[in-house]
Structure 1
Amino acid sequence: MGFIVFFSPSEDKVISQADKDFSLSRMQIQHQQDSKNDTIKYCQDKQIKILNKNGYFSNAPQVDFLASLWKNRYLHGYREQILESYLDTLRQILTKHDKILLKEVYGAKNFTPKNEMELNLALQQNTTLQAIERYCGVAFQALNFTSLSEESKDFICNHVYIFSNLFGVICARDKIPFYKLKQGAKIPYLNLAKVYEPFLPLLDDFLSQTLPNPQDFIIDLRASIYTKIFTPKQQNFFFEFQKENKIVSHYSKFYRGVILRLLSQQSQWRDSQNIDFETALVFFSTIEHENLRLHSITQKKTTTIVKYDIL
């Protein structure tokens, strides 16, 4: 008997100290090169360049991190294509000051020092963090991963799969760089349907092998935009949150993070051999949180919908 957890990413990402240090080092190298009037000339677009061991600058990002992502032995070439399309889009935004693309990718109408800095940082692709630490939106704030015990962190790293909007399905422990890409972006080759196209058969195979027993299940903590991309055939729990009889999306993000935190803190969940579907149903029916109260449980094919009132 076993289970896994599906989780959504967030548009907000952590900029780590390593990101800042690397960005600063690139600026210093550029300043030194400019001041020495080196024969190596920068392109007019002032893209951030990467210094290789021979002392030459290259536009190519470091993509070594791709090799460690979930199922990358089957997906490496595809992920490289998606990543290059993304980086080309960033270059177009920055070199042409393309406000239409800026809004589609970043969600902003105008350029600001902040979004230009973040887009330049996204071009570097050189420093990485675990995905569960890189994302920092509402759900991840509620989870508060860094404050958890080592046992709880291990539970999350071993059970949680995040549906990234750029890298596809990744494990919580997979390391990814900083990036900015609005969820639901409609850019060719970067929309969710296109990104996830080769993932769907792999997901089906993975789930059938990982969860082969009738009592195995999925805890689906994804937002609806991701549930529309892929619907598991296995038994699964899906969660809705309402306040004054109205479904509230912002609170839903927060309480999905709360539920994941509660799960990770339960010793019985950390030993997944002791959890079957019926045991999970009892847990979600009697969940203890001061701001949540069970409203209803309904069944729709293989999906058990657990609805909570927010107090």
Structure 2
Amino acid sequence: MYVLLPPSETKAPGGDGPALDLDALAFPALNATRQTLIGQLSALCGGDRARARAALGVAASKDAEIEATAELRTAATRPALQRYTGVLYDALDLASLPRSGQARAGARLLVASALFGMVRGDDAIPAYRFSAGSRLPGRGPVAADWRAPLGPVLADLLADGAPVVDLRSGAYAAFAPAPGAITVRVLSEAVPGDPTTRSVVSHFSKHAKGLLARALVASRADMADAAAVVRVARKAGLRVERTGPTTLELIT
């Protein structure tokens, strides 16, 4: 099975891996778009600082990240699951998984990316600043860059027959659809045991998705469908309900 995750705007700096090698990344069909965006982004960040801030939607306090992005072709790398940080990745807590769980995470967890389209958890990538809301000068929304190349990649993934759990946020799900994937809504329940008091949550959704991703890679179980995902999640102590053939609700 595979789990699609959103990235994070915050990233761990540095690394001890070699410089970025696009040919070593998963999903080589995305390399042409990766090459184009990397070239334009690194040139932008190595030029006029005010122009770079405007394109990336950041303030001067993020200038160090802009400088790092200018050097992303030659900078040291880390595995993607060690590069991305924040609430979801804190809940995933990769470092505390046994080696077998870390290996499954590296292979099963796929991270959406405005710069790379999608990477596998163990793909080596540099630190960079570029999100779904960024807009390079002279280009449209970055989602438009990824729709054509990423769509077939996701279609092939789903055609393999292994279940795909789509935990991407709306901004990254807009890059390309994943028809047939298992989708998850995270809800809070104001009154325990009363479904009528449930509502969609935002910030805590990231934490809950991180816990679910952890449960799915920590388990050795063979998960062939949504029902199996529910069983594994419940065994890990999560409240998950199946609301349709490929739709789940995760209750916090």
**Which one of 160, 166, 169 corresponds to residue 220 of structure 1?**
166
Matched, 1:79 2:40: no
Give structure 1 regions of 4+ aligned residues with deviation exceeding 6 angstroms.
none
Alignment of 1:7 onto 2:37: no
Aligned with residue 207 of structure 2, among 223, 247, 254: 254
Structure 2's unaligned 5+ residue stretches are 191-197
Residues 1:238 and 1:93: Cα distance change in structure 2 (over 3 Å): farther
C-alpha distance after superposition, 1:202-234 (max 9, x if no partner): 3213431x22xxxx4211121122223322233
SS at match of 2:102: helix
**Shift in CA distance, 183/75, structure 1 to aligned 2, threshold 3 Å:** closer
- In structure 2, relative to structure 1, the CA distance for the partners of 1:282 and 1:261 (3 Å cut) is closer
Residue 261 of structure 1, CA deviation: 1.2
After superposition, residues 1-311 of structure 1 pair within 5 angstroms as 3-16=1-14, 18=16, 64-72=20-28, 74-94=29-49, 97-98=50-51, 101-108=52-59, 111-112=60-61, 115-125=62-72, 126-187=75-136, 188=139, 191-208=142-159, 210-211=160-161, 216-244=162-190, 245-268=198-221, 274-277=222-225, 279-283=227-231, 286-289=234-237, 292-294=238-240, 296-299=241-244, 303-304=246-247, 306-310=248-252
Q: Which secondary structure state, in structure 2, belongs to the residue aligned with residue 6 of structure 1? A: strand
Q: Which amino acid aligns with 1:71?
A: F
In the aligned structure 1, how far is the partner of 2:19 from the partner of 2:236? 43
Higher alpha-carbon Rg: 1
Deviation at 1:4, TM superposition (A): 1.4
1:75 CA displacement: 3.4
2: CA distance, partners of 1:80 / 1:190: 17
| AA matched with 1:307 | E
Residues 31-61 of structure 1, C-alpha deviation per residue, up to 9 Å, x if partnerless? xxxxxxxxxxxxxxxxxxxxxxxxxxxxxxx
The one-letter code of the counterpart of 1:137 is G
Aligned residues: 241
SS at match of 2:46: helix
In structure 2, the CA distance between the partners of 1:157 and 1:83, relative to structure 1 (3 Å rule), is same
The match for 1:38 is none
Shift of 1:18: 4.8
- Contact 1:12-1:137 at 8 Å conserved across structures: yes
Q: Does the C-alpha gap of structure 1 residues 166 and 66 become closer, same or farther in structure 2, counting only changes over 3 Å?
A: same
**Distance in 2 of aligned mates of 1:253 and 1:93:** 34
What is the percentage of aligned positions where both structures have the same residue?
Answer: 23
1:121–1:6 distance in 2 versus 1, CA, 3 Å = same
- Find the counterpart in structure 2 of residue 37 from structure 1: none
Amino acid at match of 2:27: K
Q: In the superposition, relative to structure 1, how do residues 199 and 259 fare at CA in structure 2: closer, same or farther (>3 Å)?
A: same
1:123–1:190 distance in 2 versus 1, CA, 3 Å = farther
Normalising to structure 2: TM-score of the pair? 0.84
Letter in 2 for 1:234: G
Supply the RMSD in Å over aligned alpha carbons.
2.5
Structure 1 residues 286 and 202, CA, compared in 2 at 3 Å: closer, same or farther? closer
CA distance in 1, matches of 2:108, 2:15: 27
Given the superposition, is the C-alpha separation of residues 185 and 16 from structure 1 closer, same or farther in structure 2, using an over 3 Å criterion?
same
How far residue 285 of structure 1 moved from its aligned partner, in angstroms, is: 6.9
Q: Provide the C-alpha distance between the structure 1 equivalents of 2:97 and 2:151, rounded to a whole number of angstroms.
A: 32
Per the TM alignment, residue 255 of structure 1 is displaced from its structure 2 partner at its CA by 1.0
Distance (Å, rounded) in 2 between the aligned partners of 1:17 and 1:4: 26
Residues 1-54 of structure 1 deviation map (CA, whole Å, 9 limit, x = unaligned): xx21111111010003559xxxxxxxxxxxxxxxxxxxxxxxxxxxxxxxxxxx
Offset at 1:88? 2.2
For the Cα contact (< 8 Å) 1:130–1:173, is it kept in 2?
yes
Long gaps (5+) in structure 1: 20-61, 269-273
